[in-house]
Structure 1
Amino acid sequence: MANKDLVLGGGQYLQPGQSAEEMSFVFSVLQPESDKPTLITTSFLPHAVALKPDQPTTMAVFEKKGPGACEIDLNSMSLTRTIETVPGRHFYGHGAYSSDARLLYCTESYLDDFKGVIAVRDADTHQLLGEFPTYGEEPHECQLIDDGKVMVVTNGGGRLDGDAPCVTYIDVQTEKLLDRVELTNERINTGHFALDGDGGLIVVSAPRAGLALTDNGGVSIKPAGQEMRTRTEPEEIVARMKGEALSVAIHEGSRVAAVAHPDGDMVTFWSMRDGSFIKAMDLPRPRGICLNTRDSGFYISYGSDTRLGLVDAQSLELDEDNLRINTFQSGSHVFNWIRDVERLGFDLQL
């Protein structure tokens, strides 16, 4: 099983005769070698997942900007229970379990403005235990680093007259701000991010709230030990970054980051060593990106027929002979469960 993969992702679709208001939502579980995915019905579009470290077949799944969150069990391939937020707030798409699996952290924001918090819940009962600030507005993605001691959060910033978009590093125990990294383009938010092994940071962005959805998003890179800078070249590539830059993943061996641009119909590749542009690949509406277990390539979900393709990490070419179609993975992200579980320290000899 060590060389196999299990790719997870959210999706939405219309059944025959359904109107847009009757959209169906699923959590899709796909082994790329198989013909079709296993679908778990949900009441919302799953955005991101968090694996429980002591029991990684259990995961929390979150809606972006909505009341939906739930627990999914891969052993039974079922939704086991829902997770609720407090009145006046909604989930913002991401969460993370503490390294000892006792706590579940979630990004949540208030319905009437762009303020948000990291909500802290009991990992087993989901009871709300407390919350702490994100030191920015409109918090979205959160990841734990340094053995769970530090929380990294993207704060989108809301409208142009609001707080500056930033990435904050927060001491989980003291809840104090350790560092705050701002972008060099005030017209884009901080959406999703990835970190390399040396602490280099890449952030992918959509236009700020209130701007046209057709305005440019962007890619900002802070190589280890260097300054953060939003990329402005090549100009012809940056001009194609309409709307949001959505998903990002880093191949550690080559220090290459892949970024999906759905409205630009392309995937861009960047060097984490110096932030330079490497290549653009034309793909229709690419969305989720994750690495395969062999660490030899990027899985990318794309297209109206929800394809999953594998791009070689060295050649940066798509393997046209091993595409999967109708995966139902039309959401913002895809996740390789096998790879994530092995990174937690589990030896999967299946």
Structure 2
Amino acid sequence: MLRRQFLAAGAASMVAGLTWADVGAPSFLTAAIDRNNNAWLIGLSGTGDKLFQLPLPSRGHAAAAHPTQPVAVAFARRPGRFAIIVDCTSGQEVARLNAPNGLHFYGHGAFSADGNLLLTTENAYEEGVGRIGVWDVQGGCKRIGELPSGGVGPHEIIRLNNGSFAVANGGILTHPDSGRSKLNLPTMRSNLTYLSAQGAIEAIIEPPEEFRQNSIRHIDANADQSIAIALQWQGDPRKNVPVAALAKPDGSLAFLDHPDTARLKHYGGSVAMSSGGEAFYVTGPKGNWVLTFDVATGAPIAGFEVPLASGVAALDAGVAMTSKSGLSYLEGGQLRSVETGGDMTWDNHLVRLTHL
């Protein structure tokens, strides 16, 4: 059980030692802004009901769910400096983390397999290098150090099923004084970095020269540790380039063709492996389209029109996505949608909580 200084007031479920198996809501977490530009972290049921809306200081991005206890950490969108720890049984804020001076969050984090550590992607913006912040959950979620991310602009970090980690280093240099401006596009180079369970860099996989401006931003992995990648092209907009890639455990990195690639307008919003790991999905919020690929071969499977398709999360069969209507489900090749109400604009991620 996490220590009481981590819990603060209002986290009664964790004091009681509850696990994900003991709670029934919500099914998903996602960040959104409303028509008045207020930022929220929202807990959604599988039927699209808003079970809670937690106000955020500014726009949020993604969340990381604790592996055993009903707690998640919601992160600020770059270049934000806050991360909010949420009791998922009540939707209440438990505590707040702040990035140290000279650093900001990139919107993502991941827990260690035992839940004792939280790793966060960060920008050391004066140095222009990526960092992985390390937070001691057992010790009250205190920061205990930082590690090299293996590149510039680390965005998403995920834990693989062997306890190690993969980091999507997007390659884009930014500085808070310049807002969200991209400062190094002519020379940028993204990569996929593998970290050991202890945080040591084990391998760095870089795209070939022709795709070095294809920013590796969002990733997901299956049980075999194949990693699906959503790409965001930063080069010549006249080029038709892949928006999806696949990294295999042998160190190979393949950029994948799809007949509907151009529909995504150079922007893969989010990515999710299917529950069985045999396929993956890339959303295109700018193109109102979703691509699906076969993991074994990298071949395209299908494409689907989904207005403002944003976050995506695997279900036991198919996937759920945040979309213009609220939630959209793609199951057995059939698309259905449920309304969530509230006229929300969703950010790029839909986090399925681990009790499902």
Does TM, normalized by the shorter one, top 0.5? yes
Give a deviation string over 1:187-207, Cα, whole Å, max 9, x none. Answer: 210011111222222111112
Asked if 1:119 corresponds to 2:117, the answer is no
Q: Give the equivalent residue in structure 1 for 2:224.
A: 198
Asked if 1:132 corresponds to 2:147, the answer is yes
Distance in 1, matches of 2:66 and 2:246, equals 30
Matches within 5 A, 1:182-193: 182-184=206-208, 185-193=211-219
Matches within 5 A, 1:98-247: 98-112=112-126, 114-123=128-137, 124-148=139-163, 150-158=164-172, 159-162=184-187, 164-173=189-198, 175-184=199-208, 185-208=211-234, 218-223=243-248, 225=250, 227-234=252-259, 237-247=260-270
Return the offset for 1:302.
0.9
Distance in 1, matches of 2:275 and 2:51, equals 28
Distance in 2, matches of 1:76 and 1:3, equals 11
- Quickly say closer, same or farther: Cα 1:62–1:113, change in 2 above 3 A: same
Q: Give the equivalent residue in structure 2 for 1:28.
A: 42
- Quickly say closer, same or farther: Cα 1:213–1:45, change in 2 above 3 A: farther
Q: Give the equivalent residue in structure 1 for 2:65.
A: 51
Give a deviation string over 1:238-273, Cα, whole Å, max 9, x none. Answer: 222314201111114371111101111100011001
Contact 2:158 2:219 in 1 (8 A): no
> In structure 2, what residue type is equivalent to 1:67?
R
Asked if 1:14 corresponds to 2:35, the answer is yes
Q: Which moved more, 1:39-48 or 1:263-272?
A: 39-48
State the SS of the aligned residue for 2:286: helix
Return the offset for 1:82.
1.4
RMSD: 2.7
Asked if 1:290 corresponds to 2:313, the answer is yes
State the SS of the aligned residue for 2:98: coil
For structure 1, list consecutive stretches of 5 or more residues without a partner in the other structure.
16-22, 343-350
State the SS of the aligned residue for 1:326: coil
- Quickly say closer, same or farther: Cα 1:13–1:3, change in 2 above 3 A: closer
Equivalent of 2:81 in 60, 64, 67: 67
Q: Give the equivalent residue in structure 2 for 1:346.
A: none
Return the offset for 1:140.
0.8
- Quickly say closer, same or farther: Cα 1:308–1:213, change in 2 above 3 A: farther
Contact 2:25 2:89 in 1 (8 A): no
- TM-score between the two structures when normalised by the length of structure 2: 0.81
Give a deviation string over 1:11-36, Cα, whole Å, max 9, x none. Answer: 10133xxxxxxx21111111123644
Identity %: 23
- Quickly say closer, same or farther: Cα 1:146–1:257, change in 2 above 3 A: closer
State the SS of the aligned residue for 2:355: helix
- TM-score between the two structures when normalised by the length of structure 1: 0.82
Give a deviation string over 1:27-47, Cα, whole Å, max 9, x none. Answer: 111112364442111112221
Return the offset for 1:68.
2.2
Distance in 2, matches of 1:254 and 1:105, equals 24
Distance in 1, matches of 2:197 and 2:186, equals 29
State the SS of the aligned residue for 1:240: helix
Distance in 1, matches of 2:169 and 2:282, equals 19
Return the offset for 1:214.
11
Contact 1:216 1:244 in 2 (8 A): no
Distance in 1, matches of 2:74 and 2:281, equals 24
Give a deviation string over 1:208-261, Cα, whole Å, max 9, x none. Answer: 3x8779996711123555831212443xx2222314201111114371111101
Q: Give the equivalent residue in structure 2 for 1:311.
A: 330
- Quickly say closer, same or farther: Cα 1:282–1:146, change in 2 above 3 A: closer
Q: Give the equivalent residue in structure 2 for 1:335.
A: 351
State the SS of the aligned residue for 1:189: strand
